[in-house]
Amino acid sequence: MSAPLRLMAVHAHPDDESSKGAATMARYVAEGVEVLVITCTGGERGSILNPKMERPEILENIGEVRREEMAKAREILGVDQRFLGFVDSGLPEDENEPLPEGCFALQPLDVASRPLVAAIREFQPHVILTYDDNGGYPHPDHIMTNRVSVEAFEAAGDPDRYVGTGEPWQPLKLYYHMGFSKERFEALHAAMTERGMGSPYSDWIARWEDRPQKWEVTTRVPCADYFETRDRALMAHATQVDPDGFWFVCPLEIQQEIWPTEDYHLARSLVDTTLPEDDLFTGIHAGVSPACS
């Protein structure tokens, strides 16, 4: 029997795994792929974004509560998950406001990357998912997550780097999440409007910066059958997601019809592939053992 394919998704906070690529992960789990979510921080500085959960006892223990929410979400998705142990940097209201001392975003790159390199060498993923170089949006922890993911992807296969973190292992493909595209939200907006429904996206689209998207979508993974699983995982993060809020206004059946994929940019590949793709593992075969540099 050949060894299973393995996918690692690197995220900044608990709940990010459920809002970015969750249906993709659920689909691959159902197909027998081993999936590991890496959560860089504990979300300790996160706010309560669901007004129904605004209670002092929750805010006082937000780090513990978010770990409990993460446990529920990973069970729903069927993935394994581990925390790297760094402290949430928070999101400053003023870009000139200094970040808290010791937080994830202020760690030296080699310090922040070391436990991720160790996790890669232990889990041996063929594919890694992460954010683009702007973090998907410019949260300092999301930007740092991109930096450590790129660093670890390049370093994990080199026996001379990060000595003492396990036997070298070279992942084969690195992808950036591209789910929050203007094209997608325009399509959902048009579909809801045509059906005589109020769209939650009009103001957002109107405020979208008029500039070309930096990273093109290279890979669209069909996973509409797992959108319901994605939504249940997202709602498990009850402090962060209002079940009556923005995320769930567009009916599931419209999303499945109009945009049945989750989308990615292939940032790095060490295997031959043909673009566009519809599978993160295109060019990779089960049981493959990548050569290390």
Task: Please report, in range form, the residues annotated as the binding site for Zn(2+).
Answer: 13, 16, 142
What distances in angstroms separate CA 213 from CA 38, 131, 139, 172, 246, one per listed residue? 27, 14, 18, 25, 23
Please list, in sequence order, all residues whose beta carbon lies within 8 angstroms of the beta carbon of residue 79, skipping any fewer than 6 positions away.
9, 17, 25, 29, 35, 36, 37
Strands 34-41 and 6-11: parallel
Name the residue type at position 168: P
The single-letter DSSP state of residue 110 is H
What gap in Å lies between CA 46 and CA 279, rounded to an integer? 33
What gap in Å lies between CA 8 and CA 40, rounded to an integer? 13
What gap in Å lies between CA 120 and CA 130, rounded to an integer? 13
Binding site: which residues?
13, 16, 142
